[in-house]
Chains A and B, each alone.
Chain A
Amino acid sequence: MTRSTTRRSAAIAIALAVLTPVIAACGSQEQTSGCTPRAIAWLGARTGPARRPPFQNGAELAVHLYNQAHPECPVGYISFDSQGDPDIATRLAQTIVDDPQIIAVVGPGYSGESSKALPIFELAGLPNVTASATNPDLATQGWTVFHRVSGNDAAQGPASAAFLAQTLKVQRVAIIDDGSLYGKKLADLVAASLGERGIVVAPRGTVDPKGVDYRATVEAIAEIGVDAVYYGGVTEPGVRLLRQMRDAGVIAAFMGGDGVFDPSFISGVGSGSAGAYATCPCVDPGLTDTEARQQFRSDYEVFFGDAPVGFTMEYFDAANLLLQAIESGVASREAMDRWLDNVDIPGLTKQLSFTENGEIRVGPIQVLQVISGRFVQVGAVVDGRFVAG
């Protein structure tokens, strides 16, 4: 060996010795085990006045059943309680995106919190699937991560108007909302649609969702004398509005959106709730017409000891979509978003496939009425026409 080759080889030896720790440091520190820990998050109201536990129960049941079938690699289910408050949801959304295990979100439960949480999810590329945030504007903000497994209020509003005009044959309708993003938009859509049909909308008002005394609104309704009152908003203010209306002797028909489609609405209002209408872009949770729905119903009752409500089945579908993606090997937020954009599979409530905006491709609007203390489906609005049954 000549001197120069010795020198060169020694130089390489030193370079290697110096570089080895650097190369080692650049290497991934992730350990490769058979099961990568992955989780989906729930964001919605679990406590507080806007609580709708059966929403998240649908998602939780799906995860529970999945984990029973996949004990070797269970998927985490992390529940974030926003109380339906957009400000709390903003804070929680940040917490959610900070957790690298979370690759998708079920929810947010309401439109208001969605409008605050989604920009944060969008920034983090974290896909969501909601069912009960029905404000149509959510799909048109350019949020690529947004997905909704139920119809939106752009369909629900005109459907309600069609029902009021064609079936109830109203002439004058009072429209009240609770000031929330969801309630106001839905009320506006109904008002616009009624206006197009030449039906008088008056009075058009808003109640304070945190207030308890709606006398001023109720008196205005009573004074003008309307055929029907349409309420856009969540359950609690709706309960107070209808109770105070009936207490004041207002007998006009009452109709609300999916916000009032909840057993707590009936129990809250009491006997005055009889005959009230609700619409929902969801499937009647009492349906047990298919084997899958029967199975769901019995699983739900075993697990939670009570019956599902509106959107419970939709949330079961939403969580199941994410779980099927995980089962098929999806392990990142980005892959999940892509998977959701291309999915086309049958769900419990409908065929699950999304438009470019993240809206579900098919979704009927059900009309329900309180009969003998519970909501009964009286028909559905299809293509602007009410079909009984």
Chain B
Amino acid sequence: MRLSLDPRTWGLGTKIGATLVAAAIIPMALISVAALRSGQRAVETSELNAAQGRAVVGASAVQQYLLGVIGRADQLGTTSEVVAFLRSGGATAPPPIEATAAQFDVEAVLLLDLGGDTLAAAPSSFRSSSGTDADWFVASAAGQTKVGPVRFDSATRRGSVVVAAPARDPGAAVVGVAALQVSGDDVLYALNQAPIGPGGQAVLVSPDGQIVLARDSRLAGRRLDELGLGDLAAEIAESPTGTRKRVPLEDRGTQVVAWSTTTGGNVVVVFQPRKVFLGPIDRLASTTRIALGVVALLALVLALLVARRLSRPVSALTAAATALEASQEPDTERLAVIGRSRDDIGRLARVFASMSTEVVERERRLREQVAALRVEIDEDRRRQSVNEVTDTEFFQELLKRAAEMRRAARGDQS
């Protein structure tokens, strides 16, 4: 069987069916698509706002945690033993900084003079990897407390951050710098205080575009541009807070991204997979598609049934007309069945039936008349030809001779 996609070849029923289906399904599909689109936009907007909120919460949690560390660094920097030790250029007994170093989150405590030399460190083996050009050293030597950017150590794959405070007696000149290096894990913990949605994650990006803290080891230490997120890095560098609707994240699909800058120039970046929050609406879309399909099938079946019902009288009429055309008697019984219906087609069928009856009757009469006429004409023609025979002289002669012969025969007998 050949599938015909050319509507011109379709039967009336199919045409009506297709029209009904199209009339029902196309507007419905358009309305559904429009509704789903607007739903998607609404969900997207709310998710962008939520992600932004999470980024801000994460940023403020990080800031709060680091403020606590700043407090401890400040306290250390203003401890009289520390100030005396630094003022003496390391000549006096080193202050007891081990207790500070033993705090859970502290990796190291450093006391530096204004030349940038480490005069005391706990643990004693610890030496700062940053030189005197480190931001925190420059700022603290100038009298400010400073949170450095979070650094990622590619050997241990751990992040850490230095918080520095100027060492001085209250109101006096700066004599050195007291610095605490805290574990990045604690910053990460603070960062994750923001309630992240399912499948989402919050990472900390350093001012130079490197992911320095992340739960996922595949992201920690990577640069944004290395992940193909150079655009995002540029945008983050431009604006302290913001959002982006579609960011492809390696292995994780398309994400909604929001960011918020926190202490030390570090940026909290929240990734939220689109699939998760668009999941319900995507499911709705596929349900709608299936529903549309089912409705279309049902409509098609119903439409074909209705169309066939509608087109059956028409085909019966067509058959009757064809019969008439071929001078045959149409199926009056079928016409009568159709004619029972009160609609236009019924009336048409009734009219057609009576018309065809009349036509048939008239034709029958005509045929009878013609037949009668033909009989008359035949009689006349026969008479004429008999006359033609009897009127000849030869026939008269024959008649005379026959009469004479009959007479003669009678006379012989008598």
Find chain B residues with CB under 8 A from A60 CB. 157, 217
Of B186, B188, B286, B297, the contact of A18 (CB 8 Å cutoff): B297
Tell me whether B286 and A7 are in contact (CB under 8 A).
Answer: no
Q: Give the dominant DSSP class at A's interface.
A: helix
Tell me whether A39 and B216 are in contact (CB under 8 A).
Answer: yes
- A4 vs chain B, min Cβ distance (A): 8
Find chain B residues with CB under 8 A from A382 CB. none
Find chain B residues with CB under 8 A from A101 CB. 251-252
Tell me whether A47 and B104 are in contact (CB under 8 A).
Answer: yes
Of A5, A10, A77, the contact of B217 (CB 8 Å cutoff): A77
Instruction: Mark out the residues of chain A between 298 and 321 whose CB falls within 8 Å of any chain B CB in the assembled complex.
Output: 303-305
- A41 vs chain B, min Cβ distance (A): 9
- A25 vs chain B, min Cβ distance (A): 5
Tell me whether B18 and A14 are in contact (CB under 8 A).
Answer: yes
State in angstroms the CA–CA spacing of A47 and B183 once bound together. Answer: 9
How many residues on chain B are close to A (CB under 8 Å)? 46
State in angstroms the CA–CA spacing of A12 and B5 once bound together. Answer: 10
Interface string of A52-80 (1 = CB under 8 A from B): 01000000100110000000001011111
Q: Is A142 an interface residue (CB 8 A)?
A: no
Closest to A21 in B: B289
State in angstroms the CA–CA spacing of A35 and B62 once bound together. Answer: 35
Given known A22-B293, A81-B188, A101-B251, contact A10–B215 (CB-CB < 8 A): no
Interface string of B312-341 (1 = CB under 8 A from A): 000000000000000000000000000000
Q: Is A217 an interface residue (CB 8 A)?
A: no
Of B18, B183, B185, B218, the contact of A10 (CB 8 Å cutoff): B18
Find chain A residues with CB under 8 A from B14 CB. 6-7, 10-11
- B274 vs chain A, min Cβ distance (A): 13
State in angstroms the CA–CA spacing of A11 and B296 once bound together. Answer: 12
Instruction: Mark out the residues of chain A between 1 and 50 whose CB falls within 8 Å of any chain B CB in the assembled complex.
Output: 1, 3-15, 18-19, 21-22, 25-26, 37, 39, 46-49
Of B185, B276, B300, the contact of A15 (CB 8 Å cutoff): B300
Tell me whether A18 and B189 are in contact (CB under 8 A).
Answer: no
Tell me whether B104 and A51 are in contact (CB under 8 A).
Answer: yes
Q: Is B93 an interface residue (CB 8 A)?
A: no
Interface string of B1-28 (1 = CB under 8 A from A): 1111101011101100110010001000
- B303 vs chain A, min Cβ distance (A): 9
- B28 vs chain A, min Cβ distance (A): 12
Instruction: Mark out the residues of chain A between 161 and 212 whose CB falls within 8 Å of any chain B CB in the assembled complex.
Output: none
State in angstroms the CA–CA spacing of A297 and B242 once bound together. Answer: 46
Given known A48-B104, A51-B104, contact A25–B290 (CB-CB < 8 A): yes
Tell me whether A21 and B293 are in contact (CB under 8 A).
Answer: yes
Tell me whether A18 and B4 are in contact (CB under 8 A).
Answer: no
Closest to A31 in B: B253
Q: Is A111 an interface residue (CB 8 A)?
A: no
Given known A22-B290, A95-B196, contact A13–B104 (CB-CB < 8 A): no
How many residues on chain A are close to B (CB under 8 Å)? 47
Tell me whether A18 and B183 are in contact (CB under 8 A).
Answer: no
Closest to A94 in B: B198
Tell me whether A49 and B104 are in contact (CB under 8 A).
Answer: yes
Q: Is B169 an interface residue (CB 8 A)?
A: no
Find chain A residues with CB under 8 A from B216 CB. 39, 76-78
Tell me whether A22 and B289 are in contact (CB under 8 A).
Answer: yes
State in angstroms the CA–CA spacing of A5 and B105 once bound together. Answer: 81
Find chain A residues with CB under 8 A from B157 CB. 60, 64
Tell me whether A14 and B21 are in contact (CB under 8 A).
Answer: yes
Instruction: Mark out the residues of chain B between 206 and 242 whose CB falls within 8 Å of any chain A CB in the assembled complex.
Output: 215-218
State in angstroms the CA–CA spacing of A4 and B315 once bound together. Answer: 12
State in angstroms the CA–CA spacing of A6 and B5 once bound together. Answer: 9
Tell me whether B286 and A26 are in contact (CB under 8 A).
Answer: yes
Closest to B291 in A: A22
Of B11, B198, B251, the contact of A3 (CB 8 Å cutoff): B11
Of B4, B186, B296, the contact of A13 (CB 8 Å cutoff): B4
Tell me whether B297 and A19 are in contact (CB under 8 A).
Answer: yes
Of A7, A18, A49, A83, the contact of B11 (CB 8 Å cutoff): A7
Contact surface of A with B, Cβ cutoff 8 Å:
1, 3-15, 18-19, 21-22, 25-26, 37, 39, 46-49, 51, 53, 60, 63-64, 74, 76-81, 83, 95, 98-101, 303-305
Nearest 7 A-B pairs (CB), nearest first? A98-B198, A22-B293, A37-B251, A18-B296, A77-B217, A7-B11, A10-B14
* With A19-B293, A77-B216 already in contact, 15 other A-B pairs whose C-beta atoms are closer than 8 Å: A6-B9, A6-B10, A7-B13, A10-B9, A10-B11, A11-B14, A13-B3, A14-B21, A18-B296, A22-B293, A25-B285, A26-B290, A63-B217, A79-B215, A81-B185
Provide 19 A-B residue pairs closer than 8 Å at the C-beta atoms, listed in order of the A residue. A7-B14, A8-B1, A10-B5, A15-B297, A22-B289, A22-B293, A46-B188, A47-B104, A47-B105, A48-B189, A76-B218, A77-B216, A77-B218, A78-B217, A79-B215, A99-B198, A303-B156, A305-B155, A305-B156
